[in-house]
Structure 1
Amino acid sequence: MVSKAERPEMIRPGMFGGIVSADTRRNVFDYHNEVLIRHEVPIDFVFIGDSITDMWDIETYFDGNNRRLVNRGIGGDMTPFVRRRFAADVVQLKPKYAVIKIGINNTWALDEWQPQNRKKPQQIHDEIVGDIQAMVQQAKEAGINPIVCSLLPTRIDTNKQTPERNELVIEINQSLKQFAKEEEIVYVDYHSAMTDEDRKTLRPGLANDGLHPHVLGYDIMAETLKSELNKQGIEI
């Protein structure tokens, strides 16, 4: 137990520099993390990811069972930055479970107008899967149960790369599902529950912008997560 006159030792990943979405919430998260650590708050679930996690009102959906939930989503975040902040925003908080859903923002590298900045689908796939694998290993080494979640489909009609992006999302999800099976950890398949008849594109009526779910999309995600965790004997 830390003395009341002392501040706890804690991990602070610092700023990433340049224009990086992960910097936008860093100070807030550091202050919140310090309070949680200082008061030795038992945490059941940490949700970590990008804007889809950040904008999800997880307390409304899951707070009925006296579970302590912590949201560490950052709008615009990508896997390399989540991987770097994982020790600060998950591991040192010592939750029972870490819900990991990240990667769609990596795929904007398909849209780079300068060819030298563009990435091939395989490069993006390997980056996302590799970073998530590293996070899973960090969690397991710390005695935290990782829960890997699929990327969501998109439906951005004004974006020329939408068909290519949705194909890439399917391949990434297949790799994540296989990895979860090999590691004997939970995989949550939001994608299948949210696609249109083509099984690739986001179903109409779930997001205003074709990317970020509104309440109807989050309703599906919440039910999918609850259902999958219940199958594994995990209550949320």
Structure 2
Amino acid sequence: MSFTEQDRLLFAGDSITDSSRDRTDPASLGKGYVRQIADRLCADRLRGGPEVVNQGLNGNRIYDLEARWTADVLALRPTVLTVKIGINDTWRTFDRGLPSPVGKFRAAYTRILASARQHLPADLYVITPFLLPVEPEQHAWQDDLAPRIEVALDVATEFGARLVRADLFMPRAAAEHGNATLAPDGVHPSPLGHRILAEAWLAAAGVPVEDGIPRS
């Protein structure tokens, strides 16, 4: 897929997408995979590269993303929309006792993608949630996260979104590099983890990654 100056690529999600962006600056892309994708696609912005917008927000569960969906996503009229959400629905269940029943999670995920299909002329991408346990208690999270991954797969298929299977390629990469190397706390990617995410998104979009995004 090729992108032009007419395209607006919007990435919506939680802290993995947010990645320390400056929320007072609409042009801020953070330090993670969104920045790396933009660096690859927008190096020649003056010669026709797309606009990239980061609408990740630290701490978001699916319900938080849905609450700001109209203002932070639909109102910006992206032509390419990427959603990565779900790990906080699991995490908050364990550390704060905030339940996120899978049925309600599915209903909310379905509503946001349905509204995107209804209101936007956008290509959709879904990045599945993932977990790379580094603490013993995090292994118990996996049974809670697994059905959320299935929800992401199901809704992506239902609404014709391209899938970026972070739940598969991140554990494969961790088998080589180690969980903590890719995500020091099991959830938030390191620079290498973000690079792997960015390369996977670019591959899903059909964009060559050689000589592209930063390697550190």
Q: Give the TM-score category using the shorter length.
A: 0.7 to 0.9
Q: Which runs of 5+ in 1 are unaligned?
A: 1-40, 232-236
Q: TM-score, normalised by structure 1?
A: 0.68
| Partners of 1:118 and 1:59 in 2: CA distance | 31
Which residue of the partner structure matches residue 131 of structure 2?
153
| Partners of 2:160 and 2:37 in 1: CA distance | 26
| Partners of 1:155 and 1:205 in 2: CA distance | 11
**Contact in 1 for aligned 2:134/2:184 (Cα 8 Å):** no
The Cα of 1:175 is off from its aligned counterpart by 2.5
Which residue of the partner structure matches residue 203 of structure 1?
179
Percent identity of equivalent pairs: 23
**Contact in 2 for aligned 1:196/1:204 (Cα 8 Å):** no
Q: Which runs of 5+ in 2 are unaligned?
A: 20-31, 42-48, 208-216
| Partners of 2:153 and 2:163 in 1: CA distance | 6
Q: 1:89 to 1:195 in 2, by over 3 A?
A: same
Which residue of the partner structure matches residue 173 of structure 1?
149
Which residue of the partner structure matches residue 51 of structure 1?
15
**Contact in 1 for aligned 2:124/2:160 (Cα 8 Å):** no
Q: 1:135 to 1:209 in 2, by over 3 A?
A: same
**Contact in 2 for aligned 1:150/1:176 (Cα 8 Å):** yes
Is 1:187 paired with 2:163?
A: yes
The Cα of 1:48 is off from its aligned counterpart by 0.8
Which residue of the partner structure matches residue 28 of structure 2?
none
The Cα of 1:197 is off from its aligned counterpart by 9.2
Which residue of the partner structure matches residue 210 of structure 2?
none
Q: 1:137 to 1:78 in 2, by over 3 A?
A: same
How large is the Cα RMSD of the aligned pairs?
2.6
Q: TM-score, normalised by structure 2?
A: 0.74
Select which of 66, 71, 74 maps to 1:83. 66
- Number of residues paired by the alignment? 181
Provide the secondary structure at the position in 2 that maps to 1:141.
helix
**Contact in 2 for aligned 1:63/1:69 (Cα 8 Å):** no
Which residue of the partner structure matches residue 124 of structure 1?
101
| Partners of 1:197 and 1:64 in 2: CA distance | 21
Q: 1:61 to 1:198 in 2, by over 3 A?
A: closer
Q: 1:197 to 1:63 in 2, by over 3 A?
A: closer
The Cα of 1:164 is off from its aligned counterpart by 2.6
**Contact in 2 for aligned 1:156/1:211 (Cα 8 Å):** no
Is 1:216 paired with 2:199?
A: no
**Contact in 1 for aligned 2:132/2:183 (Cα 8 Å):** no
The Cα of 1:177 is off from its aligned counterpart by 1.1
Runs of 4+ in structure 1 displaced over 4 angstroms?
196-199
| Partners of 2:174 and 2:191 in 1: CA distance | 23
**Contact in 2 for aligned 1:53/1:74 (Cα 8 Å):** yes
The Cα of 1:141 is off from its aligned counterpart by 0.8
| Partners of 1:61 and 1:198 in 2: CA distance | 21
Match runs of 1:6-85 below 5 Å = 43-55=7-19, 56=32, 58-65=34-41, 66-85=49-68
